[in-house]
């Protein structure tokens, strides 16, 4: 997978936990040859990069808007895009504090070498 795409709308299974939606993405998008333990370790890294460690076992439907946006970003990161993470209006429906938190997450990802493009 060369690029990840974060939609403007956060579409996740509301009954699943944050960890479960990331694992689903990793299993669906990463090659089957990648061992499950390696996928799990990368999911933990994605949770950390997006500031979601404390929400790993939280049901997605109960998350606030900011955490759902971070979950959307983490889901695409769990797919391990090689080239680019594209975000479609990641600040829509966020207040200024939440938008700043998302920008901070994106800055951290860019500092780790992830190429990011936002509209």
- pLDDT in the model for residue 1: 65
Q: For the purposes of burial, counting CB atoms within 10 Å of the CB of 75, is it exposed (0-12), middle (13-18) or buried (19 or more)? A: buried
- pLDDT tens across 46-63, in order? 999 888 999 999 999 999
Q: Quickly list DSSP for 81-113.
A: -SSEEEESSTTTT--HHHHHHHHHHHHHHHHTT
Q: Domains along the chain? A: 3-118 (3.40.50.300)
Q: What are phi and psi of 115, to 5 degrees?
A: -75, 135
Single pTM value for the model: 0.87
62 token code pair: 């109960």
Closest CA to 19 of 33, 48, 101: 48
């Amino acid at each position: 997978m060369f690029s990840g795409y974060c939609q403007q709308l956060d579409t996740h299974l509301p009954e699943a936990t944050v960890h479960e939606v990331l694992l689903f993405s990793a299993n669906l998008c990463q090659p089957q040859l990648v061992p499950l333990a390696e996928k799990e370790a990368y999911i933990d890294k994605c949770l950390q990069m997006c500031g979601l460690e404390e929400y790993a076992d939280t049901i997605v439907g109960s998350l606030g808007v900011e955490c759902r946006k971070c979950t959307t970003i983490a889901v695409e990161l769990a797919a391990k895009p090689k080239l680019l993470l594209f975000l479609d209006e990641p600040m829509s429906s966020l207040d200024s504090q939440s938008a700043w938190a998302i920008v901070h997450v994106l800055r951290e990802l860019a500092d780790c070498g992830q190429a990011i493009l936002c509209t």
